[in-house]
Homo-oligomer: A and B are copies of this chain.
Amino acid sequence: MKERSKLLGFRKDIKVVDATLRDGGLVNDFYFTDEFVNDLYITNIKAGVDYMEFGYRGDKSMFDVNKFGKWKFCNDEDIRAIVGDNNTDLKIAIMADVGRCDYKNDIHDRSESPVDLIRVATYLHQLPTAIDIIEDSYKKGYETTCNIMALSNAQEGDLQVALDELGKSPVNTIYIVDSFGSLYPEQVARMADTFMEFAEKYDKKIGIHAHNNQQLAFANTIEAVGDGVDWLDGTYAEMGRGAGNCAMELLLGFLKNPKYNIYPAIEFVEKHMRKLKEDGIVWGYDLQYLMTGLLNQHPRTAIDFTKNKRTDYAEFYKEVVIHD
């Protein structure tokens, strides 16, 4: 049992990261209105959120700019149009996806950019490239995180090698990413222990990015808080790929640091997130995501099930069990 004091105190090192545009963009191909993005920026400032992730810096030679909204690419000038000089306490993040980002050319010096933080998303086997992006971004003046995806499928031995390599790199924060929404809180606790060991050795911070396949995204996030994890990802109305993420409004309600406010989050959800759902954008917990989470599978089959408006859950269960 954790210490009683933890539920009434707070750690100043906690950082809340809004990933709505980035993970939510995977649901609507990044077609957010400028009003949405403007209001989200203002909401994050009012709510005390620490970082706002605007999207991916996708490689335009790989992705057709006519098939995605602008936050798939996050041009510096598009961010600047929202944040100006960003004279606020809210820092700006973008994601560089290993193998899908021309980082050498598309990430410019921080002095020329409104961006503060480059979040490097990688699978374990892509680690050398991830570290190259981290070093490149560090030299250009950015803070960096490394988000190791699909951890529920990683071998513990491989993970330890990766954490050692990342420890020696200039990365600031290393993320536990439960891409498949398959981890239970006890497994998060065990994983956090492994990560914290390297964090303490190399003076790094640890973060968590959860998915809600088993209605555990918030529970796993606050479990991680109790285990010493400081960087917490949330999205408004849990908007994110498939079953979505840890709801920002749950997280802001939980955190005790007086700098965080839930009220602006409620206003934002009322104004914008309900509308997205009414417009037919679909995300969030449902049985098909429970199944892929339970089976520790990538949610792509469940996303297809959702897109095809299927409701034959039992048939889908047989499909995913057969292809397990």
Contact = CB atoms under 8 A, between A and B. Distances in A.
Interface string A283-315: 000010011001000000000000000011110
A7 to B, nearest CB: 6
A178 to B, nearest CB: 13
A34 interface: no
Given A190-B4, A254-B184, A270-B311, A216 B218 contact: yes
Contacts of A149: none
Interface in A179-233: 184-187, 189-190, 193, 212, 214-219, 222-223, 226
Q: Which of A219, A274, A311 has the most CB of B within 10 A?
A: A219
A50 interface: no
A287 B271 CA distance: 13
A8 B228 CA distance: 25
Interface string A228-264: 0000000000000000000101100110000000110
A212 to B, nearest CB: 8
B218 A215 contact: yes
Chain A interface main SS type: helix
Contact of A253 (B223, B262, B290): B290
Assembly stoichiometry (copies): 2
Given A263-B317, A270-B314, A274-B311, A249 B290 contact: yes
Interface residues of A, number: 43
A322 interface: no
A186 B317 contact: no
A37 B247 CA distance: 34
Interface of A: 1-2, 4, 6-7, 184-187, 189-190, 193, 212, 214-219, 222-223, 226, 247, 249-250, 253-254, 262-263, 266-267, 269-270, 274, 287, 290-291, 294, 311-314, 317
21 contacts: A1-B186, A1-B189, A1-B193, A2-B186, A2-B189, A4-B190, A7-B186, A184-B222, A185-B219, A185-B222, A185-B223, A214-B250, A214-B253, A214-B254, A216-B218, A262-B294, A263-B317, A266-B291, A266-B314, A267-B314, A270-B313
Given A1-B189, A185-B219, 14 more contacts: A1-B186, A4-B190, A6-B186, A7-B186, A184-B222, A184-B254, A214-B218, A214-B253, A215-B215, A215-B219, A215-B247, A216-B219, A249-B290, A262-B317
